[in-house]
Amino acid sequence: MASLEVQLRLTLHSPDRRFDLDVDFTATSQRTALIGPSGSGKSTVLQAIAGLLPQARGRVRVGGQALLDTPHGIDLPARERRVGVVFQDYALFPHMTVEQNLQFGLRRLGQRADAGHGQRVDALIRQFDLESLRGGLPRNLSGGQRQRVALARALAIEPRLLLLDEPLSALDAPLRKRLRRELAEMLERVQVPTLLVTHDPQDVEALAQDVICIDDGRIVDGDLRG
Amino acid sequence: MPALFVPLWLTLKVALFATLIAGAFGIALGWWLARRPFHGRSIVDSLLMLPMVLPPTVIGYYLIVLIGRNGLLGRYLDRWFGINLIFTWQGAVIAASVVSLPLVYKGARAAFEEVDGRFANAARTLGAGELEVFLRVSLPLAIRGIAAGVMLAFARAMGEFGATLMIAGNLPGKTQTLSIAVYEAVQAGNDSQALWLTLVISLVCIAVLVASGRLLQARH
């Protein structure tokens, strides 16, 4: 089992707030939840792991491979990290069809489509039951369909690590319950180490094998699984 | 009738080239300033908006100081390349570009700022470099707002008078655009000529405004 080692320090400045993050944890389970109240810095940790916060200092290693190691001058840009992210609200490209969203990570600008890419997209479309939605635009999809497309898009790049940012927070309660079950089944089949950020103990219960708690930018003890 | 078509053709030519130049710079600058705050961003913004509030004659004067035969840049253009922009239609293009730049820049910046930053971040995690993020994500998502700004810039470039007169003068068939031809026709007491010129320029500008209004409306 590939482990995720994270030691991060960074400071975020906004006009009304200064936020210090200083976390150190190792996740060894296949699926780990990072749980904390809103504003605790959990999404910040996730963005730093993905390489989206240039001010991050410290170390991030996945299965022994360094994505960030500022003491040794290593800081891979997001595009080279091969970390799949399912964003809060999914952030599907609104001007692209489902199929184009899935292709985005496979085909670089100016590169010709090749058969391997097509097969990979076809496989994802079958795996996530998206056949009938292939040519549809994200705005015409239901919440559950969007979630499947977002997960498939993140997995298209064959990531070494999968990050989920509050994957269920945008949904109302009955739908959340159903999609939580669907997501749990999908993650069960996906053999990629996963870190999931949430504020909801029920997500932890259903989706993760291990849990790390964060509060006010620090890792804290405590089991929130109730 | 050539009295109508020659300045119309010249006006369209000048406005088209000016829109291309203002479009390229305006989109690039709008994207750059929309990205993230930096020291002096508001000063750069003010400088870019200056052509909208300065009297066109003042802009014309600045341009003479800059690209005139003995200007800061103009003397090198003349010495090294033998290029002289004063009293040429290319000079009129420069004047119209500067005057219409704020319209593209403002529209593009607002359009880029409206695009959710998470789309760009999603593209980065999927392996896209910054140029690819711009071409495949940011630009297509901002294109309506940009297109509206570009159309306004075209209309503005067509109507440009003051700076053009300072830089390119009033040479019939060479630098006399529609707006300058109107001025001259009125000065010469040629009322029917002035009326025709006025109608033509009004129709084109109304068409452009209606089209850009539709583009902006479709966005919301």
Using 50, 70 and 90 to split pLDDT, how confident is the model at B215? confident
Residue A223 has what pLDDT? Answer: 54
CA–CA distance, A30 with A163 (Å, rounded to integer): 12
Choice among A81-85, B34-38, B127-131 with the minimum mean pLDDT: B34-38
Q: Do B137 and A87 touch (CB under 8 A)?
A: no
Contact A13, A42 (CB under 8 A): no
| Chain A CB contacts of B123 below 8 Å | 93, 104
SS3 at position A197: strand
Which residues on A lie below 8 Å from B36 (Cβ)?
Answer: none
- Which listed CATH number (3.20.20.30, 3.40.50.300, 2.30.42.10, 3.40.50.720) goes with A1-82+159-226? 3.40.50.300
Looking at residues A191-197, what average pLDDT do you find?
92
pLDDT band per the 50, 70, 90 thresholds, residue A1: low
Q: What pLDDT digit, counting tens, does each position of A80-90 carry?
A: 999 999 999 89
pLDDT interval class at A116 (50, 70, 90): confident
Residue-level pLDDT at A87: 94
> B112-126 pLDDT, tens per residue?
999 988 999 999 999
Tell whether the model's pLDDT for residue B219 goes beyond 80.
no
CB contact under 8 A, B118 and A91: yes
Domain ranges of chain B: 2-219
Does A137 score more than 90 pLDDT?
yes
| Cβ pair A95:B141 closer than 8 A | yes
CATH of B2-219, one of 1.10.3720.10, 1.10.10.10, 3.30.710.10, 3.40.1080.10: 1.10.3720.10
CB nearest B132 (choices: A91, A109, A156): A109
Higher pLDDT, B122 or A225: B122
User: Distance between CA B140 and CA B138 in Å, rounded?
Assistant: 6
Query: Is B137 close to A93, i.e. CB distance below 8 A?
Result: yes
pLDDT (average), residues B92-106? 96
Q: How far is B123 from chain A (nearest CA, A)?
A: 8
Q: Where are the beta strands (DSSP E) in chain A?
A: 4-14, 17-27, 31-35, 57-62, 65-69, 74-75, 83-86, 161-165, 194-198, 210-215, 218-220
Shortest Cα–Cα distance, A51 to chain B (Å):
8
Predicted confidence at residue A217, as pLDDT, reads 92
For position B216, what pLDDT does the model report?
A: 74
Contacts of A87 in chain B (CB under 8 A): 118, 121-122
Instruction: Indicate the residue of B119, B124, B136 with minimum beta-carbon distance to A52.
Output: B124
CB contact under 8 A, A108 and B127: yes
Top-confidence range, A67-71, B83-87, B214-218: A67-71
pTM for this predicted structure: 0.84
Q: Express as a percent the part of chain A with pLDDT over 90.
A: 66
The domain segmentation of chain A, as residue ranges, is 1-82+159-226, 98-158
Burial (0-12, 13-18, 19+ Cβ within 10 Å), A138: buried
Q: Specify whether the CB–CB gap between B102 and B46 falls below 8 A.
A: no
* CA distances in angstroms from B69 to A183, B56, B60, B65, listed in the order given: 70, 20, 14, 9
pLDDT at B1: 55
- The residue in chain B having the minimum alpha-carbon distance to the alpha carbon of residue A150 is B122
pLDDT of residue A226: 41
Among B126, B132, B134, most A C-beta atoms within 10 A, so best to mutate, is: B126
Task: Among A34-48, A93-107, B199-213, name the one with the lowest average pLDDT.
Answer: B199-213
